[in-house]
Amino acid sequence: MIEGGPGATLVPQGRYARMGNVWFLPSCDTLLGWLRKLGFLDPRLVDVTVTSTEEQRSTDWMRFHSLADFLDPADSTKSIEGYPAPRRAIVAARVPGDWEPGEFKSD
């Protein structure tokens, strides 16, 4: 997630925090708007947290790179590429109609 209002979206050129599979990072308002546009009901923001190097670190079972390797060594508020450091959001929304968890409808 990035800071910003409705419509704010970061589209990284190349990689984001050395990840090649990050195509865009929306603001919280943008993500909630996308959910509404897709038909989800009552989308709401539950939490936004800066991803910490304590939670994403090397461990005995994962000894490779960790978040600290992907942040600017001079400014941990930025990715190695100069973008804002990773933040995550938890959102909740209701699915319209009579959909039940685990159920797939193809119509």
Q: Is 2 within a domain?
A: no
pTM exceeds 0.95, yes or no: no
pLDDT digits over 31-87, tens only?
999 999 999 999 999 999 887 766 665 666 666 677 777 888 899 889 888 888 888
Q: Is 62 within a domain?
A: yes
Q: Is 105 within a domain?
A: no
Q: Is 1 within a domain?
A: no
- Total domains in the fold of the chain: 1
Q: Is 32 within a domain?
A: yes
Strand 71-72 vs strand 75-79: parallel, antiparallel, or unpaired? antiparallel
Q: Distance between CA 65 and CA 58 in Å, rounded?
A: 7
Work out the pLDDT band at 96, boundaries 50, 70, 90.
confident
Q: Is 24 within a domain?
A: yes
In terms of residue numbers, what domain contains 17? 9-92
